[in-house]
Structure 1
């Protein structure tokens, strides 16, 4: 077998393989057996028809079988000896039968020269968990375990309310601007800025109508426009947050005290921050490598897949 390869434009490589007469004869013999085992040839048992008979009746199938066998037996082992790596579906072309020569064109992964990467230095940053972050998690935990009681007093910040509302601009309903039994907690800015402020002081059963201007950085179809809002308050719930103490910590799980809970929260936050720092360093290293590395031409198939 003779084999050679050369790189082509577009991130491809062409491999040309020529078989010796003896190698081709073995391919021919086995290919005829394979084709005659799946194709009907009158007067011959499956797999027993001679090459010339198979070629006469099923020439294209025989040629394809020979090419596939040659690729499997000679091309694939040749690839394993190379330093480059092919990707995607190769294109196989039969060039001649005497001698038996075939060609395979494939995309290849681009070679990367890393340049002077040993000089790259990534500065690590200290991992610190501020007390404010622990307090923020505790605050969220309190909110998630708040008790609620239905009330007939006016809406206040911190209450949970259930309402129906619709929003329109110049008399036309806004897409996605209507909901029934919509629940919000007042003060969390779940809706467009200014919406919640117009609900403060309303009672259950009351309907509020007001105008609201969409922020300039809202989606382009609504940014900066004046909207008309109708909101009916259906229910108002007063929320009470639990006191943060040892009993609160025990109710959260296997914590014997508030200190143990805080220590666990701090550790978890530290672990998350440490992992984030590792990822930051990896991204910084990758960005630095991109600046000093040189890439061969990237094949179109690889770009499309990405």
Structure 2
């Protein structure tokens, strides 16, 4: 591999022209031939035993070129990036320039980490309201425990709002039953708003055993078959049930908690609520400080870096869904989204994540932050405990580079937070407005990832992109 040229372009892009020698290309072709020969039928030869020259004679000398380029170009690209000490932050845009027996040449447009002009990042101020917990707050904290201890009992009286009625019903449109309009033994809480407007109100006052016809007009925004239509429901009430609330006293506290008295239980609920609110306030305080660092910096964020981050976020979502047994394609079908709309919806969050990363990286550089071997060992031990894995397996799964970067980021964040003060947050700076204006400009259209040259040998096509490494989180989950 030889890097013919390195040329800096605008918008944090470096253009590399990379030559792959005859020997290197030949090795890639041979590797592809050995993989594919078992799938190629050649008269006179047993499947998988036809010599390469025979196959090339039948299908053209470039029959293996496309796959050989796909097999090898990403490795040579990575070697070139390392050789030129480029901090690549997104997949490159690749264009094949020449290809033949003597090797091939390709051009790679590499998006590199943009230059960040760091503004004020220490001694920033942000609001952090004092936390208070009222008696009403504590009563609200009690409600889930009361609800769980509440029983439904039969009420020998007329139904009222808040009761649950057990009903049989069937709906008729123009005197004929319609699909989905019939049920038996259905539990309906009156006042819940779970049925068509007007339906529940007309059940108020009915007793068990009573029947009634209910006239309803479906809303205009209901599904097409019934939108705006007047229908009649034949309803029978089988049972009226009411909520039987528990007595909230010391015995109740013993039943639902570890405490012997209601006062002790309430005190604990109040302390836990206060701790949660303080934690939320602290998170908001820290978030606001980091946002100010982002506001104060000057940087032109490359579109490719944001696109790459959006792809990463979508992949993370797909992994989480897969862990829940939900195929990503099924999720997109359920939400009415496709790959393009999914990526568009992730853009703003991806931009925010990239800006945060750039800001904290700049703080780490300004502070000369480093991570010791001892700190690395402690973090690996923590990960081993978190994932219940052996330490050696964690080290194999999670690259040291990823761990070190995470620790550096955490230290940079602490620099900002520990120097921060409680007070009124500053307004956005001119630097932030300038950055937002630049990010709001129309994006240039992307170039094709790879294209054939007119002189390319028969059978050659553009190489497909492939990932060069897995994310640390994916490896950990494995």
Question: In structure 1, which of residues 256, 259, 262 is the aligned counterpart of residue 263 of structure 2?
Answer: 259
For 1:117-196, what aligned pairs fall within 5 Å after superposition?
118=121, 121-165=125-169, 179-191=183-195, 195-196=199-200
Contact 2:29 2:65 in 1 (8 A): no
CA–CA distance in structure 2, aligned partners of residues 14 and 296 of structure 1: 15
Contact 2:33 2:64 in 1 (8 A): no
1:74 matched residue in structure 2: 76
- Deviation of the 1:249 alpha carbon: 1.0
Deviations 1:142-167 (A, max 9, x none): 23322333233222344332123456
- Deviation of the 1:204 alpha carbon: 0.5
1:4 matched residue in structure 2: 5
Deviations 1:204-250 (A, max 9, x none): 0112344567789x769789987755532110123321110110011
Alignment: residue pair count: 296
Contact 1:161 1:233 in 2 (8 A): yes
What root-mean-square deviation, in Å, do the aligned CA atoms of Structure 1 and Structure 2 show? Answer: 5.0
CA–CA distance in structure 2, aligned partners of residues 76 and 157 of structure 1: 69
Which has more strand, going by share of residues?
A: 1
- Deviation of the 1:92 alpha carbon: 5.2
1:30 correspondence with 2:27: yes
Question: In structure 2, which of residues 289, 297, 301 is the aligned counterpart of residue 295 of structure 1?
Answer: 301
- Deviation of the 1:178 alpha carbon: 5.3
* Higher mean C-alpha deviation, range 155-164 or range 249-258: 155-164
Tell me: CA distance 1:27–1:296, structure 2 relative to 1, closer, same or farther (3 Å): closer
2:371 matched residue in structure 1: none
For the residue of structure 2 that corresponds to 1:262, the secondary structure is: helix
Question: In structure 1, which of residues 93, 96, 106 is the aligned counterpart of residue 96 of structure 2?
Answer: 93
Tell me: CA distance 1:188–1:79, structure 2 relative to 1, closer, same or farther (3 Å): same
Gaps of 5+ in 1: none
Contact 1:10 1:299 in 2 (8 A): no
Contact 1:110 1:298 in 2 (8 A): no
Contact 1:11 1:297 in 2 (8 A): no
2:62 matched residue in structure 1: 60
Of the two, which has the highest radius of gyration? 1
Gaps of 5+ in 2: 311-339, 347-478
For the residue of structure 2 that corresponds to 1:149, the secondary structure is: strand
Tell me: CA distance 1:203–1:9, structure 2 relative to 1, closer, same or farther (3 Å): farther
Deviations 1:35-84 (A, max 9, x none): 564549999xx99x8x9899767632454466456535532122343123
CA–CA distance in structure 2, aligned partners of residues 69 and 278 of structure 1: 50
CA–CA distance in structure 2, aligned partners of residues 139 and 61 of structure 1: 72
* Higher mean C-alpha deviation, range 71-80 or range 252-261: 71-80
CA–CA distance in structure 2, aligned partners of residues 240 and 170 of structure 1: 41
Contact 1:54 1:62 in 2 (8 A): no
TM-score of the superposed pair, with normalisation by structure 1 = 0.68
* Higher mean C-alpha deviation, range 61-70 or range 283-292: 283-292
CA–CA distance in structure 2, aligned partners of residues 273 and 174 of structure 1: 50
